[in-house]
């Protein structure tokens, strides 16, 4: 009976010791699975030393990649990594690790990632066969290794758990000016923001890049000029932890007052939803975060719905184009206007196959064309190309075109589609301050009273004619496109005096110039003087290479294949 108090004392001491030990566990992660990423969190009320124990892959383990780390909640900086700990006993390819570190007061996130890692460690066919046999004949051993992985952190503080860490992330996103983070596969997101004063912005982005190619990345546009004022590339980023392709950037940039839009895109694999390789050190913030460097300027910064604002000023929409399409839209501007051009098409090796261009409706002068050198990768396959720029259009009439070839287009892709497939084609949005939709109207070329005769869109094996009359000697402009090579014309125009049948003008190879596309596309664009009288305009084609039935690349202005004769009123005599 005298021993009962002693036994009770020992039992009490054991219980108190267990409770104390449990209270001292700041964070703990166990029971991992294949390609698993788990997190936990804790708070320290004061600077202190914490102890860390973990079970992970041994240094010589061939096909198991494990890593654990501690992240500062506020700065997103890595405070500790498993590889800094001391490796102790090794069994079945697993090792025990221990470490003691001093952490300042603050909030911390703990992560553990477990992935196969044979691709970077196996050397030669023999090693691969050994790895493969191990995976086939000892699957239970592999699963057991993942279950045995763990990390435990002890100290004096508060355990917040996974839910608490997720609440931290949500608050960080709310505090940011722009938060495009926590993204999944095939995301294409953007957010507009306005700065009423010049200020410094802290840009933090985590994405995927390899060599000169970027797959998950962000950029910022000045909405007024269309200029990319910032972009995430492989060259301006550094390793973000985990797989080599994980890249990150953290920098402060000075922005003038203005309107901007931030973008971030992801491809079809390796994101916060489903990592196909070891994740970065900050997996929840895969994407782009923009914060004010000086929070006292918060009242001078705000966000806006960029897409809605742009949709209100849409003046041309030739998008969602399919194979073998040729679309155009003619508009008349009652005053000069700045427009944003958004064009997405197919191009490779310096050449565009699906592309757009803009011409002056009356002079047919090309104002802009989608050249490969001006484009950037549009996501997905490298042949997806995009342009986002601002163009000044003068008062007058303009025609916007877009053409596609016979493969790889909207809803019929033969390779990975772009990040924004809905914009395959071209669209124009008005940017000028105080834009009035009434300043833009539809243009019909038939209503142009300066046109004396027009024969365009001519197909194979055609011979067409139109007549016109001049009441006095006049200067007329002839704009004609046709086929010619080796000094001869195959598709061409000429003008005859109706009373005598005499040819007063003819389209010859020598008087034409290159019209774009195939070298045989020829253009005559010049002015001639004709006396008063009646005239007949002719146009003739052979059996191949004509409008909408090209056997080679079409010209830059395919709809004008034929001839147009216009009166130059200001030089009339």
pLDDT at residue 118, as a whole number: 45
CATH of the domain spanning 176-307: 2.60.120
DSSP state of 418: P
Is the pLDDT assigned to residue 335 strictly greater than 50? yes
Q: What pLDDT digit, counting tens, does each position of 544-554 carry? A: 999 988 999 88
Is the pLDDT assigned to residue 34 strictly greater than 80? yes
Enter the pTM of the model: 0.74
pLDDT at residue 307, as a whole number: 79
What's the CATH architecture for 25-160?
Sandwich (2.60)
Q: What pLDDT digit, counting tens, does each position of 137-156 carry? A: 444 345 557 888 999 999 99
Helix axes 124-137, 139-148, angle to 10 degrees: 80
Q: Give 9 or 220, the one with higher predicted confidence.
A: 220
Same fold flag, 176-307 and 449-571: yes
pLDDT at residue 61, as a whole number: 60
The rounded mean pLDDT for the chain is 88
Q: What pLDDT digit, counting tens, does each position of 159-206 carry? A: 999 999 999 999 999 999 999 999 999 888 999 999 999 999 999 999
Is the pLDDT assigned to residue 135 strictly greater than 70? no
Which stretch, 64-68, 193-197, 379-383, 385-389, has highest mean pLDDT? Answer: 193-197
Q: What pLDDT digit, counting tens, does each position of 68-77 carry? A: 999 999 999 9
- For 98-154, give the DSSP string: EEEEEE-SEEEEEEEEEEE-GGGT--HHHHHHHHHHHHHH-HHHHHHHHHH-EEEEE
Task: Give the integer Cα–Cα distance in Å for 367 and 336.
Answer: 14
Choose the weakest-confidence range: 92-96, 400-404, 531-535.
Answer: 92-96
Choose the weakest-confidence range: 46-60, 114-128, 231-245.
Answer: 114-128
Cβ neighbourhood burial of 291 (10 Å; 0-12, 13-18, 19+): middle
8: three-class secondary structure by DSSP? helix
DSSP state of 23: H
DSSP state of 519: T
Are the CB atoms for 247 and 207 separated by under 8 Å?
yes
In the chain, domain spans: 25-160, 176-307, 313-442, 449-571
Q: How confident is the model at residue 215 (pLDDT cuts 50, 70, 90)?
A: confident
pLDDT at residue 570, as a whole number: 56
Please state the rounded mean pLDDT for residues 401-421.
91
Is the pLDDT assigned to residue 572 strictly greater than 50? no
DSSP state of 247: E
Task: Give the integer Cα–Cα distance in Å for 108 and 535.
Answer: 87
CATH of the domain spanning 449-571: 2.60.120
* Topology (CATH) of 313-442: Jelly Rolls (2.60.120)
């Amino acid at each position: 009976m005298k021993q009962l108090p002693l036994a009770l004392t020992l039992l009490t001491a054991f219980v108190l010791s267990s409770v104390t030990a449990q209270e001292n566990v700041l964070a703990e992660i166990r029971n991992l699975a294949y390609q698993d990423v788990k997190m936990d969190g804790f708070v320290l009320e004061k600077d202190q030393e914490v102890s860390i124990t973990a079970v992970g892959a041994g240094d010589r383990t061939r096909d198991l990649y494990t890593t654990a780390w501690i992240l500062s909640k506020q700065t997103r900086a890595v405070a500790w990594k498993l590889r800094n700990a001391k490796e102790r006993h090794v069994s079945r390819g697993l090792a025990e690790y221990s470490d003691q570190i001093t952490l300042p007061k603050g909030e911390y996130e703990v992560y553990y990632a477990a992935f196969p890692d044979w691709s970077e460690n196996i050397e030669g066919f023999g090693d691969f066969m050994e790895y493969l046999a191990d995976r086939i004949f000892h699957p239970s051993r592999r699963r057991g290794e993942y279950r045995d992985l763990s990390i435990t952190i002890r100290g004096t503080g508060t355990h917040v758990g996974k839910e608490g860490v997720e609440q931290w992330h949500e608050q960080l996103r709310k505090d940011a000016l722009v938060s495009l983070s926590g993204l999944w596969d095939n995301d294409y997101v953007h957010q507009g923001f306005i700065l009423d004063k010049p200020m410094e912005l802290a840009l933090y982005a985590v994405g995927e890049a390899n060599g000169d190619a970027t797959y998950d990345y962000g950029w910022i546009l000045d909405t007024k000029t269309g200029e990319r004022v910032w972009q995430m590339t492989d060259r301006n980023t550094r390793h973000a932890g985990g797989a080599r392709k994980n890249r990150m950037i953290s920098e402060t940039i000075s922005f003038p007052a203005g309107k901007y839009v931030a973008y971030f895109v992801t491809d079809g694999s390796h994101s916060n939803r489903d990592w196909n390789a070891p994740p970065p050190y900050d997996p929840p913030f895969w994407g782009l975060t923009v914060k004010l460097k000086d929070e006292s300027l918060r009242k001078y910064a705000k966000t806006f719905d960029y897409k809605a604002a742009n949709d209100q000023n849409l003046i041309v929409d030739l998008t969602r184009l399919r194979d073998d399409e040729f679309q155009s839209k003619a508009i008349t501007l009652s005053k000069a206007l700045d427009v944003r051009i958004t064009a997405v098409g197919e191009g490779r090796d310096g050449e565009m196959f699906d592309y757009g261009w803009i011409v002056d409706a009356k002079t047919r002068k090309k104002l802009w064309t989608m050249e490969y050198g001006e484009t950037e990768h549009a996501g997905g396959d490298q042949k997806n190309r995009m342009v986002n720029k601002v163009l000044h259009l003068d008062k007058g009439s303009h025609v916007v075109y877009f053409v596609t070839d016979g493969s790889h287009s909207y809803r019929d892709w033969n390779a990975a589609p772009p990040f924004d497939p809905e914009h395959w084609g071209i669209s124009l949005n008005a940017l000028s301050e105080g834009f009035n939709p009434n300043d833009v109207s539809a243009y019909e070329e038939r209503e142009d009273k300066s046109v004396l005769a027009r024969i365009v869109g001519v197909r194979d094996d055609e011979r067409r004619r139109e007549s016109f009359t001049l009441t006095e000697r006049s200067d007329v402009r002839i704009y004609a496109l046709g086929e010619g090579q080796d000094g001869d014309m195959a598709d061409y125009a000429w003008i005859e005096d109706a009373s005598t049948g005499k040819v007063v003008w003819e389209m010859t190879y020598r008087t034409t110039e290159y019209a774009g596309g195939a070298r045989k596309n020829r253009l005559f664009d010049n002015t001639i003087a004709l006396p008063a009288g009646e005239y007949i305009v002719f146009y003739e084609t052979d059996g191949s290479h004509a409008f909408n039935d090209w056997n080679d690349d079409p010209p830059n202005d395919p709809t004008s294949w034929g001839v147009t004769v216009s009166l130059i009123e200001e030089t009339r005599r």
